[in-house]
Copies of this chain bind each other. A is one copy, B any other.
Amino acid sequence: MSTSLLFTSDSSADGVRERDFTVGGVPGVLWSPDSRPDRAPLVLIGHGGGIHKKAPGSAGRARALVLGCGFHVAAIDAPGHGDRPRTEHDEREIDALFAARDAGEPEGPIVVRYNAYLAEQAVPEWRATLDALQELREIGADGPVGYWGINMGTAIGIPFVAADPRITAAVFGQHWPDFLAEPAKRITIPVEFDLQWDDEHIPRSAGLALFDAFASPEKTLHANAGRHKQLPRFEADSAVRFFARHFGAPAAGTAAA
């Protein structure tokens, strides 16, 4: 059963058209070139844990892809995030995460299991969203589709991309291999993967093991010196160029926010 897309707002600023939508009750946003009605590639952005579909990182990446490449960009709120209600389970896991943080205990085990739980719900939501987006004339069913998500965006994105052959290039990074190495082994599309060399949460060997798991003949690891939250901004520029290279858009400069 296909669930269609309902637009709930439509505005434009600085060359970017922004339309809020829902698909089967899941709230999303579609950013598009203001000036170009032609069919163009689509990049899906999966946000990180604790933030939402329009957080500055996502909005800045969308802006770079729209203005630098002429692409469409869509994001949806993950379960329990943004404009969506939290369940009791969500509240328990978030409490457990903050308790571990306060106690100086490892956050990894909680993040790993909670993100795996969220991915089970989020993967069919992403697939239904993509179904609906592809019914739009300016996107269509045959064009290239990319996925870009780091942290929780990778925990949801790897099983999503492994399950959906419409995605033809992806940027992932910064997660543990526990639940993700198996679906990563089924991924063969070009992948760019970000890892922080001095990540205080994700052991280096765990990050490298997840990169190693992808079956993609073209895969690139970008490992930067620094801690978990210090992923350099130039990696956003690099990801924009990665999609531009694979989807045939003009190479973008340094427009990512």
Contacts and interface: CB of A to CB of B under 8 A. Distances in A.
Contacts of A223: 211, 220-221, 223
A177 to B, nearest CB: 16
A216 B253 CA distance: 25
Interface string A207-226: 01001100011111111111
A251 interface: yes
Contact of A225 (B197, B218, B234): B218
Contact of A245 (B216, B218, B234): B234
A254 interface: yes
A220 B254 CA distance: 18
Contact of A219 (B216, B218, B224, B234): B224
Interface size class, chain A: 20 to 34
A238 interface: yes
A255 to B, nearest CB: 10
Given A238-B238, A245-B234, A251-B254, A222 B225 contact: no
Contacts of A225: 216-220
B220 A224 contact: yes
Interface in A211-251: 211-212, 216-226, 232, 234, 238, 245, 250-251
A253 B245 CA distance: 11
Interface in A163-215: 197, 208, 211-212
A245 B234 CA distance: 9
A222 B220 contact: yes
Interface string A38-72: 00000000000000000000000000000000000
Nearest to A244: B254
A251 B252 CA distance: 9
Given A216-B225, A221-B222, A251-B253, 9 more contacts: A217-B225, A217-B226, A218-B224, A220-B222, A220-B224, A220-B232, A221-B224, A222-B222, A234-B245
Interface of A: 197, 208, 211-212, 216-226, 232, 234, 238, 245, 250-251, 253-254
17 contacts: A197-B221, A208-B208, A216-B225, A217-B226, A218-B224, A219-B225, A220-B222, A220-B223, A221-B221, A221-B222, A221-B223, A223-B223, A234-B245, A238-B238, A245-B254, A251-B253, A251-B254
